[in-house]
Structure 1
Amino acid sequence: MEPITWLIHKYVMHGFLWVLHKDHHDHSHEGKFEKNDYFFFIFSIPAILLFYYGSLKDFNYLFFIGLGITLYGIAYFFVHDIFIHQRIKVFRDTQSPYFLAIRRAHKQHHKHIQKEEGECFGFLFVPIKYFKIYFKN
């Protein structure tokens, strides 16, 4: 899922659907929800369809692709929304080099408030330079 996520983030969210993702970068939204939150629904549609068609006959591979998308979405919610953006105030004081590297890379991504010139479009795998900061021997 990570390469697909990278492509979708760079070319869809920072491309033709920037209108939904923009408020996530410039914080122009009011309240707890952003237009960016619509992606939860947009990305759930293929998973639901895959669950449905994959369960019609002996739970074929389509079902398990839908399951993979769903599990990745759950991971995204916990890591991105809860851990990185602190929508629920937990896991603030982690000392995990892995999670600190992910948080740092995401901050680099948000340094750019326009859709162009972005970096770090990945989610669970980020450039090695961010890991080197925290994995010191």
Structure 2
Amino acid sequence: MNAVVFIGITMLTFVVMEGVTWCTHKYVMHGFGWFLHEDHHQPGYPHVFEKNDAFFVVFAIPSILLFYFGIRRELNYLFFIGLGVLCYGVAYFLIHDVLIHRRFKWFKNTKSRYLKGLRKAHKIHHKHLDKPDGECFGMLLVPFKYFKKSQ
């Protein structure tokens, strides 16, 4: 396979991860995995780490395995699927933990309408402190109405 195919696999995996994240957030984090995600919905949670951070490990394990099996004998498509998962994880960290929740004090004064819209949608998601009745489970793709409100 050539570089264009590998780049395409990485990009497609990145895009697919948004759907995987949406489903995981709605059906696992707000379902049977609520015991790990619940502290994330509590305002002013005082710890540096949350139980919710365990989900980073859950997503890292398949990526690590894909890297391993993608280079075991020779470089193959599994490596680039793992790379797409990793790239999405980095984007998730930067958007969710840095920009939205301000766990790190980077990107304080963004003027981007898109990033403001993401932040608004996530705030709407967090207005629900309990497991049911959630909305806006995506991370990079959220309903257009939040971008209109963020002008």
Structure-2 separation of matches of 1:36 and 1:134:
27
- Residue matched to 2:111: 95
For residues 4-41 of structure 1, what are the alpha-carbon distances to aligned partners after superposition, in whole Å with 9 as ceiling and x for unaligned? 11011101111111110000001485421100011111
What pairs with 1:1-137 in structure 2 (closer than 5 Å)? 1-27=17-43, 29-134=45-150
For residues 38-83 of structure 1, what are the alpha-carbon distances to aligned partners after superposition, in whole Å with 9 as ceiling and x for unaligned? 1111111111111111112332211111111111001111111011
Structure-2 separation of matches of 1:62 and 1:28:
40
**Offset of 1:134 from its aligned partner?**
3.3
Scaled by the length of structure 1, what TM-score is found?
Answer: 0.92
Alignment: residue pair count: 135
Query: Measured at CA, do residues 132 and 27 of structure 1 come closer, stay the same or move farther in structure 2, by a change above 3 Å?
Result: closer
Q: Kindly, what percent of the aligned residue pairs are identical?
A: 59
Runs of at least 5 residues in structure 1 that lack an aligned partner in the other structure: none
Matched residue type, 1:2: E
Say what the alpha-carbon RMSD is for the aligned residues: 1.4
Structure-1 separation of matches of 2:104 and 2:150:
24
For residues 90-124 of structure 1, what are the alpha-carbon distances to aligned partners after superposition, in whole Å with 9 as ceiling and x for unaligned? 22221110000000000000010111110000000
Matched residue type, 2:137: F
Matched residue type, 1:43: F
